[in-house]
Amino acid sequence: MQKAKLALKTDTQQTTVIHLSEQVTVGGENLLIVGGPCSVESQAQMEAVASQLAIAPVQALRGGVYKPRTSPYDFQGMGLEGLQILSSIRKQYSVPVITEVMAISQIEEVMAHADVLQVGSRNMQNFDLLKALGQVNKPIVLKRGLAATIEEFVMAAEYILSHGNPNVILCERGIRSFDTYTRNVLDLGAVVALKQITHLPVIVDPSHAAGKRELVADLARAAIACGADGVMVECHPVPEQSVSDARQALSLDEMVNLVRSLRAIAAAVNRSIPVGAGTTPRLSLV
């Protein structure tokens, strides 16, 4: 870790608070709860997600439109049409949206429609992409690589920071191991370590770690209990029908209940989940 100059704390109290929008932040006392499907599938799907998660409420929505799939024959995402859906949802519901950018060539287009750009696990060490994202003025969610060490993860963040973008949110999403029962192993030890050594916000994605919906809520609660600054959870109006990652998707009701259950845990670790900002439906649609 010797070479990290910008990601590491200079004193133990140092924290960075990042704005996803005017009202929504991560890294301060308020936790960031992100919900939404693995993939954007249709306007109706995203409207169902946004309107129901406004009840929770979540502070931001997620939805992939460029999907890094293991098989080239699987659904690759809706692309621009999906971005346009995200755009309309963020305006209609006044909620920031997060979506993955897989290539430098997609940055401009994604910037025009999303509040936060996600770097997926498979791209954590795509150094050219990281350098290019250092030049954008929107927050980046950087997901830990499938088999990346904590040091490699921090150095990947350092690429973005050192190229001029101070707004990096680290996301632990499970790492590869020998066990096939879970999709990955959620490394909460890394969350605690990252919170100790870096000043950057650290969020947890229990969905890709677990790979099974019945494990997701408990892992999300454990993440908040151990000091994560938020969670990002996959959920869907009809989970079994998700075009990608169906097995790990929560229903929207389950997501609302999860957020409810997180409030007590948040309070126990001196954090809170905002009740207002995030997904207030607007009557005057743009």
Beta bridge partners of 8: 198
Interhelix angle 80-93/43-53, nearest 10 degrees: 30
Structural tokens at position 192 = 């605690």
**Which among 82-90, 114-122, 220-228, 261-269 is the span making contact with ligand PEP, rule CB under 6 A?**
114-122
Cβ pair 225, 265 in contact under 8 A = yes
Number of residue whose CB is nearest Mn ion: 38
Helix (H, G, I), strand (E, B) or coil at 281: coil
Q: Per-residue contact track with Mn ion, 217 to 246, x per CB under 5 A?
A: ----------------------------x-
**Which among 17-25, 115-123, 152-160, 272-280 is the span making contact with ligand PEP, rule CB under 6 A?**
115-123
Query: Could you say which of Mn ion, ligand PEP, none residue 30 binds, taking C-beta under 5 to 8 angstroms by partner kind?
Result: none
Among 173, 183, 195, 213, indicate the residue that binds ligand PEP (CB under 6 A): 173
Q: Per-residue contact track with ligand PEP, 23 to 52, x per CB under 6 A?
A: ---------------x--------------
| Residue 281 is a binding residue for ligand PEP (CB under 6 A) | no
DSSP letter at 229? S
Cβ pair 222, 188 in contact under 8 A = yes
Q: Per-residue contact track with ligand PEP, 141 to 170, x per CB under 6 A?
A: --x---------------------------
Strands (E), the chain: 18-19, 25-26, 32-36, 60-62, 97-100, 116-119, 140-143, 168-172, 202-204, 230-236, 250-251
Helix (H, G, I), strand (E, B) or coil at 82: helix
Among 121, 126, 165, 198, indicate the residue that binds ligand PEP (CB under 6 A): 121
Cβ pair 198, 18 in contact under 8 A = no
Residue at 144: amino acid letter: R
Q: Per-residue contact track with Mn ion, 27 to 46, x per CB under 5 A?
A: -----------x--------
Residue 132, H or E segment: helix 127-133
Binding residues for ligand PEP (CB under 6 A): 38, 64, 68, 120-122, 143, 173, 208
